[in-house]
Amino acid sequence: MMSLAAAGLSLVGCVSDGGFSSLIGANGHDGEAFGVGHRPPDVGPHPGHPPNNSRWGHLDPGSLPDVYFAVAYTTVPYGWYTCDAYCDADQAEVPYYPYGETHYAVIDLKGQVVWDVPALSSGMTYEHLALAAAGPGQFSVTARPWYTYDAEADADGWYAGTNWEAYRLDALTMSTERVAHFDLERWVTHIDRASVDVDVGPADGTLHLGMFPSDPERALFLGTDTYSCDATARGVRDLRSVHLNDGEASAISYDAASFLPNPDAHWWAWGFDASVDEDGAPAALIGVTPWDCSALTGDPQVVMWSPERGALWTADLGPNTWPLDAEFDPREGGGALSFAVDPVDGRALWRVFDADGRAHGELGDELYNWRPGPLLEHASSTFVDVGTRSSDGFDQIEIRSDGRVVWRIDDLRFGVGRQAVSILDIVLLPM
């Protein structure tokens, strides 16, 4: 899931170009001529739009805020396979997604890679599952390694289990540590350093992992008993908080009834983002949909939740939400970002929800395959989006404020070279 905008990130301090000013034209907008991160040429007052008072609406290429994103990416483009005998008779082409080897990096607003993360484990290829912000300068990666079994270990060679691994990455020290994994032999979730097992639900259920930036020594696990058809069960399990370093520390459980819109109904959890508000208090955005053990029975909803105060507000995202994802800004009462498809003409739409209602607008048709990124400031509808270019099948990162594009990152820059990529996930790095 493309996840949270962490409240602790400062937008006041600015950074110099760090030796890269010659690559970015101060008034340039053409990515080929002026670099990777740039301000679009049409940014400015728009007729009919109120003045944009957000600092994000006035990004200066010569004096950018000290902001970094963690990204998961591949170098394989989104595209289309020509159909063969396996396609339906009425299909000429079918889409494929960029399932190449996953890479991780920390980038600045210019698209410059400031940390090209080494392989999570030597000799292992990973399928990306999720990114999440963690402590200051930290983020977590959950991924699934692809093991090759020999004939003795697994005679018929099939993939045995949902073997995910969770890592905490520190961009300040450029270090990587595995913090939890699914133990294939014992079929349990195991916390590495604390050397304890934790009950997060059955292996055939779904699972989400997060961390409050104010307490990065604990991991939060939200599980759903996917195949439980007990009419009295809630589906979504209690939220578990487990210490990553101290095996003697008690696990903390938060009753699912405190964040479910209707505790008596059956729910499936599809999203979880943990963060802190402007006062440093922990908060989370939880995405759930009602279901009856065989099919979804209602529209997706998001709940802003606090461990101290419970559910603060709930928003119904509606039936046309796509993709099923929501991003989170916990400050000033909290807000959520979600995309949708217009059921009449197929237009891609953005929506920002909060306790007072929602703002909305169109994403346009310059790109396609839109996905929401971090919600940077819900009060001004400032957010990151990712879309795919039809010209080459690779992705472009945009920042919008009041729904208008104010900044773009066309490609990633490695040193003085550039690389077109497909973005699998992006989070704002807390600082």
Q: What is the pLDDT of residues 375-414, one digit of tens each?
A: 999 999 999 999 999 999 999 999 999 989 999 999 999 9
Q: Is residue 8 a part of any domain in this protein?
A: no
Average pLDDT for residues 162-181, to the nearest whole number? 92
- 263: domain CATH number? 2.130.10
Is the pLDDT assigned to residue 149 strictly greater than 60? Answer: no
Return the minimum-mean-pLDDT range out of 70-84, 104-118, 249-263: 70-84
Q: How far apart are CA 338 and CA 336, in angstroms?
A: 7
- Looking at residue 380, its pLDDT comes to 94
Q: Which domain holds residue 109?
A: 21-428
Structure-model confidence comparison of residues 8 and 235, the more confident one: 235
Length of the chain: 431
- Looking at residue 431, its pLDDT comes to 81
How high does pLDDT run on average in the chain? 80
Q: Is residue 9 a part of any domain in this protein?
A: no
Is the pLDDT assigned to residue 18 strictly greater than 70? Answer: no
Is the pLDDT assigned to residue 10 strictly greater than 70? Answer: no
Q: Is residue 113 a part of any domain in this protein?
A: yes
- Looking at residue 87, its pLDDT comes to 53
Contacts of residue 346, Cβ cutoff 8 Å, sequence gap at least 6: none
Question: What does 321-386 look like in DSSP terms, one character per residue?
Answer: B-SS--EEE-STT-EEEEEEE-TTT--EEEEEEETTEEEEEE--SSSEEEEEEEEEEGGGTEEEEE
Is the pLDDT assigned to residue 85 strictly greater than 50? Answer: no
- Looking at residue 17, its pLDDT comes to 32
β strands within 134-174, DSSP E? 138-145, 165-170
Tell me what percent of the residues of the chain surpass a pLDDT of 70: 75
Total domains present in the chain:
1
Average pLDDT for residues 159-182, to the nearest whole number? 84
Contacts of residue 265, Cβ cutoff 8 Å, sequence gap at least 6: 234, 290
Q: Is residue 281 a part of any domain in this protein?
A: yes
The model's pTM: 0.83
- Looking at residue 47, its pLDDT comes to 37
- Looking at residue 76, its pLDDT comes to 84
Structure-model confidence comparison of residues 374 and 269, the more confident one: 374
Average pLDDT for residues 17-37, to the nearest whole number? 34
Average pLDDT for residues 134-159, to the nearest whole number? 62
What single-letter DSSP state applies at residue 203? T
Q: Kindly report, residue by residue over 309-321, the tens digit of the pLDDT.
A: 999 999 999 999 9
Element (H, E) at 241: strand 239-243
Q: Is residue 353 a part of any domain in this protein?
A: yes
Q: Is residue 170 a part of any domain in this protein?
A: yes
Amino acid, res. 331: R
Q: Is residue 15 a part of any domain in this protein?
A: no
Amino acid, res. 99: Y
Is the separation of the CB atoms in 287 and 344 below 8 Å?
no
Q: Is residue 301 a part of any domain in this protein?
A: yes
